[in-house]
A and B are shown apart, each in its own frame.
Chain A
């Protein structure tokens, strides 16, 4: 989701957060978020059906917490699937 321009305070906080507090786990970092659309699709389906991402695949939850671009894409897919599910539920 787009945000207003970051202030210097925002930027510095983001830098420290990124460098110091985000995971340095190799498996998390090397997850292929751009190519493996199908696994991500399956996870999004499960989240849209009410499961928690941290229960399904904690390393991916950590990955999307670390990388906002991946998080934005995952949340977009979950939002679409949730809306589709609600439409189906209201039809039935």
Chain B
């Protein structure tokens, strides 16, 4: 990462980016260059899923995302308290925007409504976690336990909790995508999933399935 833009202190960034500052055009241009370089670095060096993209495509992506970042930074200048470097804060916003955009693009066809909740994602054989294949008795016990876990999952959780847990924990769908489809935000989704996990743990324990028993069964 080279070609560093003019270095400013945090106070200089805040002053220069003000709408009434004569230096705002230069500051905006420097900020855009800086976050665009960071985003390009991230896309080109840290994203294995983009390794087949051309440098031109990645530059275009970085340019678009940098534009969005600069707008977001300008709209949130009043939130900046100076705890970190201003440019780190801008890069934090840039990475959030970039990663969120890529998640949305990847899951644009995903719909929570299409989750069946029938547990078809679980295998018939339950040799899931242990390294070595279990013996037949243990495999049967694991399979039976997983069935009970899935049964308790659907019995004890609300539909909203079930869908969120299935999407995030079972299918690995990004939280932003799930939150958007549930009409909420990521923080509310944390809480929803937290409550779901707590309820499920209580249900497991009250049905004789202790955490220790399950973890031991799967040799964690």
Q: Which A residues lie at the B interface, using CB under 8 A?
A: 1-3, 6, 8-9, 11-16, 18-22, 24, 26, 29-30, 32-35, 37-42, 44-45, 67-69, 72-73, 76-77, 79-81, 83-84, 86-88
Contact = CB atoms under 8 A, between A and B. Distances in A.
A38 B84 contact: yes
A55 B20 CA distance: 43
Contacts of B83: 38-39, 41-42
Interface in B162-192: 165, 168-172, 174-176, 185-187, 190-191
Contacts of A22: 197
A38 B83 CA distance: 6
- Which 8 pairs, one residue from A and one from B, show the smallest C-beta to C-beta distance? A2-B49, A41-B84, A18-B169, A42-B84, A8-B123, A41-B88, A76-B95, A29-B194
B174 A69 contact: yes
A68 B218 CA distance: 23
Interface stretch (B23-31, B39-47, B53-61): B39-47
A80 B128 contact: no
Contacts of B168: 18
Contacts of A8: 121-123
A27 to B, nearest CB: 11
Nearest to A76: B95
A41 B94 CA distance: 12
A2 B1 contact: no
Contacts of A39: 83
Given A20-B211, A69-B174, 8 more contacts: A1-B48, A2-B49, A15-B169, A19-B201, A24-B197, A32-B187, A34-B185, A87-B1
Nearest to A80: B38
Interface in B106-135: 106, 121-123, 126-129
Contacts of A33: 186-187
B93 interface: yes
